[in-house]
A and B are shown apart, each in its own frame.
Chain A
Amino acid sequence: EVQLVESGGAVVQPGGSLRLSCAASGFTLDDYNMHWVRQAPGKGLEWVSVINWGSGTTYYADSVKGRFTISRDNSKNSLYVQMNSLRTDDTAVYYCAKDKHSTSSLLDAFDIWGQGTMVTVSS
């Protein structure tokens, strides 16, 4: 079964750092574009970042550029996001998601989502 399981969510103070993890099973993570998407309480979906299959090229939303870093560990079949200089408006449920097609362009769709992990930035 194809599955994504996020972990690492916590309560952190403004200016702090946190690393989220996403363990993949049932598929080879390196064959797919992998994303982080977040959803603030009561708000809509916001795409955060993607790491391209193979090359590992990364892209970020303007709201997190320079503060967040997406990465993957193929040996662990896991995806990560390192979040630094956290702000109160980073408070959200963070989902990892995979693209539907292997070795695809970025013009694809998210077909599998994790259950999400909650990040709360508060003093």
Chain B
Amino acid sequence: QSVLTQPPSVSAAPGQKVTISCSGSTSNIGNNYVSWYQQLPGTAPKLLIYDNNKRPSGIPDRFSGSKSGTSATLGITGLQTGDEADYYCGTWDSSLSARVFGTGTKVTVL
């Protein structure tokens, strides 16, 4: 069982915005950086956001991250068909001494 909870799925029309929540606790999100990953079908995950809200080089600013307390949020604006993928949050859990992932969210572009 994952210690980070995400909604199983979100959907929106092309050009619209979606947000994905990631809920944790003080031992993980509350006191550590959050990162977000995109996994297209049949491929390895790709880093989208690190240190809560920073984008690696090459990631468009349509992707944004934020954190408040023990929850984090990934936002995707200007939704495109190529954004259809599974998205995972991740962080370090100080109680477990382990990296942990969220349960994953499937984004569908209607």
Contacts and interface: CB of A to CB of B under 8 A. Distances in A.
Interface in A99-119: 100, 106-111, 113-116
Interface of B: 2, 32-33, 35, 37, 39, 44-47, 50-51, 56, 86, 88, 90-92, 96-104
A59 B92 CA distance: 12
Nearest to B2: A44
Contacts of B92: 106-107
A113 B98 contact: no
A114 B46 CA distance: 10
Contact of A113 (B45, B86, B90, B104): B45
Contacts of B46: 113
B32 A59 contact: no
A43 to B, nearest CB: 9
Chain B residues touching A, majority SS: strand
Contacts of B88: 44-45
Interface in A26-53: 35, 37, 44-47, 50
A61 B3 CA distance: 12
A110 B49 CA distance: 10
Contacts, number: 62
Given A113-B44, A114-B44, A45 B50 contact: no
A60 B96 CA distance: 9
Contacts of A109: 33, 35, 47, 50-51, 90
A50 B99 CA distance: 9
A45 B104 contact: yes
A61 B97 CA distance: 9
A34 to B, nearest CB: 12
Contact of A45 (B32, B56, B98, B101): B101
A95 interface: yes
Given A100-B47, A107-B92, A61 B98 contact: yes
A110 B33 contact: no
Nearest to B49: A109
Given A44-B88, A44-B101, A100 B32 contact: no
Contacts of B86: 44
Nearest to B6: A44
